[in-house]
Amino acid sequence: MTKVSSDREEYLNKVNEIDFGNEAPKHLDSSDFFTVAKERRSVRHYDPNFKLSDEEVRELLEIAVQAPSSSNLQPWRFLVINKQETKQKLLPIANNQQQIVDASVVIAVLGDTKAYVNADRIYDELVEKGMMTQEVKDFYVGSIVKNYGNFPEEIATKVAMIDGGLVSMQLMLAAKAKGLDTVPMGGFDQAKFVEAFNVPENFKPVMLISVGKGIKAGFEKVRLTLDEVLTWDQF
C-alpha cells in the first residue's frame, strides 16, 4: 500500500475515535421535506443483519432519478453492491470503512460521459406525448449531439459529476424519508474501483453511498453560519 493511500485510510478511519455516543439515528414520524432535510446525517454504524429487498432499493432509486439533469440526459448509472462477498471486495478499495460491509447495500453512483447517445429516445417521448413538434425535437437532439458529443473529456466529466451529485442527494433524502440512513463516500480508490468492478470507461465514479438501518446517529450538524457562506448580488 502506498503512503498516500494509507494516510487516507487513517484519515477516514479516525472517525472511529470520535465518541458518537449510543444514540440511535433519530426516528422520524414524518417524511415532511424540511424534517427529512434537517435530520439526515451521515451514519457510519449500521445493523449488519438488516437487509433491504431489491424492490426497496428500486423504490429509492425511482425517487432519486426524478432529480434534474443537464438537458435531461440523466447521465447517472448505478451499481448496487448487495452481496456480502462483493462488499468484502470493495472494503479495501474504500479504505476499510466499516459501513461498506455493515450497511445493507452500497450504491455506486456513476456518471456516463456519453449519455448524449440517449437524447433521441428521451426527446422522442416528448414528441409522442404531444409536448414537442418533430422539428423542435430534431433541433434539440442535433444540438445536444453536436455539443455534448464534442465536449472535451474534462467538461463531459464535470457535467456527469454535477448531475451525479444531484441524484445522490435525492437518493439520500429519499432513504431518510423511508426511515433509512446513508453516508456518501468519496474516500475510495477510483482507479481500483473501476478495475475491480469492470466499470465501462465512460462511466465515471461520482460517489459510493451506503444505505441501511443505522444503529448510531451521525455527528450532530456542524455548519458555518449562513452569513459566512452567503453573498448577495456581487462579490
Ligand X SMILES: Cc1cc2nc3c(=O)[nH]c(=O)nc-3n(C[C@H](O)[C@H](O)[C@H](O)COP(=O)(O)O)c2cc1C
Residues at the interface with ligand X (CB under 6 A): 12, 15, 41-42, 44, 97, 183-187, 207, 218-219, 221
CB of 32 to ligand X, least distance (A): 18
DSSP state of 133: -
Q: How far is the CB of 42 from ligand X (least distance, A)?
A: 3
Q: What is the DSSP letter of 20?
A: -
Closest CA to 214 of 180, 171, 178, 172: 180
Give the nearer residue to ligand X in terms of CB position, either 144 or 161: 161
* Residue environment code for 92-113, b if the CB has 16+ CB neighbours within 10 A, otherwise e: bbbbebbbbbbbbbbbbbbbbb
Task: Name the residue whose CB lies closest to ligand X.
Answer: 187
The nearer residue to ligand X, 173 or 185, going by C-beta atoms, is: 185
Shortest Cβ 118–ligand X spacing (Å): 26
15 vs 196 by CB, closer to ligand X: 15
Residue (144 or 177) nearer to ligand X, CB: 177
Estimate to the nearest angstrom the gap between the alpha carbon of 24 and the chain centroid. 23
Query: CB of residue 188 vs ligand X: minimum separation in angstroms?
Result: 7
Cβ atoms 133, 127 nearer than 8 A: yes
